[in-house]
Amino acid sequence: MWLVWYPSAIGIQDEAAYLAHARIMARGDLTGDAPGDVTVSMLETPRGVVSKYPPGQAILLAPTQWGPWRMAFVVPLLLLLATTWMAAAALQRDDRSPLWAALVLFHPTLLLYARTLMSDLTVAACLTAAFLWSDARRTRPLLAGLALGVAPAVRMAALPLAGALGIILLWRLATDGRFRAVTMAVVGALIPLAALGAYNAFIFGEVWVRRAPMTGYFDWATSPGRALFYLAALNLVWPLLAVAIVASRHARRLEAQVVLGISFVLFSGYYFVDRRFGLPADFVVGLRFFVPILPILVIVYVERLEIWMLRMRVAPAALAVGLATVIAGDAALVLQHQRFLDATAERREIAVTEANRAPAVVVHGSAAELLSPAWGAPPFTLANSVAEMLAQIDVAQHGTHDVLFIAQGVAGDSLAERAHRDVRRVSGLTLLRVPSGPPQ
């Protein structure tokens, strides 16, 4: 499926920032100062422009940018395969069939985000590796600590999850009197965290970036609705997954219960859940923030699942039919996603073509993902709001050259309503060319 429907575009603003920073790093730089380096979700610093997110994901993607930019999509695929392999190893260690790792490989949310350049799956690989290497039967404390330290260097939202798993690991090791292993785990975690601190100090002038902007906000007043949605999604995509984690008798159920509890509380309070496609697709896409912990949940889930299947006397043929149904559903999901990406690629080609014809270009933030030097787009000025674009229009009409304004989606609609000028609407894009000189 992945090869037949190879991703044709990026479709999320964050991907634009990861890709832009990866291309900066592929040149051998930490920060960008070239005209084409600026895009959405990036920060201007005294040393140059960087992604507003930790550098781990950009570092991982950077080698792919020594060739065609779309090679970057190989990285999340390899991460999904590696995470599936680690889940299989953990299941085999539990004396269960490693084939149950198919629940990781074919999980529709994991499969969907394996088609993006987002950092969620990278964190999932880190946390799964830490879970595997912290198993008391074959502990690798240095590697476990290293994996836990890398996770927040990729995505800062992983810090409470990695911290909780680290505390449990240290507690288990100390309880067994393995104090040398405790030291090794701490050293392993400190290596990437120290590197992140050094990066922050060099770029921002402080080890802990207190002023880093956070996308969105927490709204506890409306959290019950999100909690109900997540509760339904977690128990429907894989039947009774969250129930199985709570009821589990797995030897390492504590880790799964803690990361599930943290994620559930944290993201029930966070204002955003992606619900724009209608059911059942919303249940798949809406679990995005749970991607980092889904492999761990699956590993622990299998213990209850096997018991329930034995009690219900589920025949192997029924299981085969269920798996075939899941794969068919995954194929439908991937096809729908590919259509979305192809439509995005169409807008990208229009935007790049028009931008290359214009002396100057101003782009609204949400449309900036369509313009990158990776696919031949010229440098542009980024406007973070429609109001800022309107102000730029006033400046442009008294300038010395024509300016092209580009927006998409709701921002494009708003620009068309408020600009009081003839605009061009094509394939979801709003294009407005403002000639130089006073209006006639």
Q: What is the pLDDT of residues 7-44, one digit of tens each?
A: 999 999 999 999 999 999 999 999 999 989 999 999 99
Looking at residue 21, its pLDDT comes to 97
Share of the chain above pLDDT 70, in %: 98
Which tokens go with 404? 């092209």
Number of Cβ within 10 Å of residue 257's Cβ equals 17
Share of the chain above pLDDT 90, in %: 77
Confidence of residue 279 (pLDDT cuts 50, 70, 90): confident
Looking at residue 345, its pLDDT comes to 96
| More confident site: 269 or 438 | 269
Looking at residue 214, its pLDDT comes to 65
Answer for the pair 87, 128: CB distance below 8 angstroms, yes or no. yes
Span 69-92, average pLDDT: 97
> Cα separation of 367 and 396, whole Å?
19
Looking at residue 10, its pLDDT comes to 96
Q: Is the pLDDT of residue 428 over 50?
A: yes
| More confident site: 183 or 390 | 183
| More confident site: 159 or 276 | 159
The backbone torsions φ and ψ at residue 258, rounded to the nearest 5 degrees and listed phi first, read: -70, -50
- Name residue 45's beta-bridge partners: 48
Average pLDDT of the chain? Answer: 93
| More confident site: 323 or 58 | 58
Q: Is the pLDDT of residue 440 over 50?
A: no
Sign of the Cα pseudo-torsion (310, 314, 315, 316, in order): negative
Sign of the Cα pseudo-torsion (415, 418, 424, 428, in order): positive
Looking at residue 397, its pLDDT comes to 79
Q: Is the pLDDT of residue 438 over 80?
A: no
> Cα separation of 235 and 241, whole Å?
5
Question: Counting runs of H as helices and runs of E as strands, what totals does the chain give?
Answer: 17, 7
Q: Is the pLDDT of residue 65 over 90?
A: yes
Q: Is the pLDDT of residue 53 over 90?
A: yes
- Please give the helix or strand (H or E) that residue 76 lies within, else none: helix 74-93
Span 143-150, average pLDDT: 98
Confidence of residue 213 (pLDDT cuts 50, 70, 90): low
Confidence of residue 280 (pLDDT cuts 50, 70, 90): confident
Residue type, 149: G
Looking at residue 437, its pLDDT comes to 62
| More confident site: 328 or 422 | 328
Looking at residue 212, its pLDDT comes to 59
Which of the residue ranges 79-88, 211-220, 316-325 would you say has the lowest mean pLDDT?
211-220
> Cα separation of 73 and 290, whole Å?
21
Which tokens go with 359? 């002396």
The backbone torsions φ and ψ at residue 109, rounded to the nearest 5 degrees and listed phi first, read: -70, -45
The backbone torsions φ and ψ at residue 419, rounded to the nearest 5 degrees and listed phi first, read: -75, -25
Looking at residue 128, its pLDDT comes to 98
Confidence of residue 414 (pLDDT cuts 50, 70, 90): confident
Smallest Cα–Cα separation from 294: which of 106, 147, 143? Answer: 106
Cis check for the bond before 141: say yes or no (omega within 30 of 0).
no
Looking at residue 423, its pLDDT comes to 86
Q: Is the pLDDT of residue 439 over 60?
A: no
Q: Is the pLDDT of residue 415 over 90?
A: no
- Please give the helix or strand (H or E) that residue 48 lies within, else none: strand 48-51
Each residue's pLDDT tens digit, 288-328: 999 999 999 999 999 999 999 999 998 888 888 988 999 99
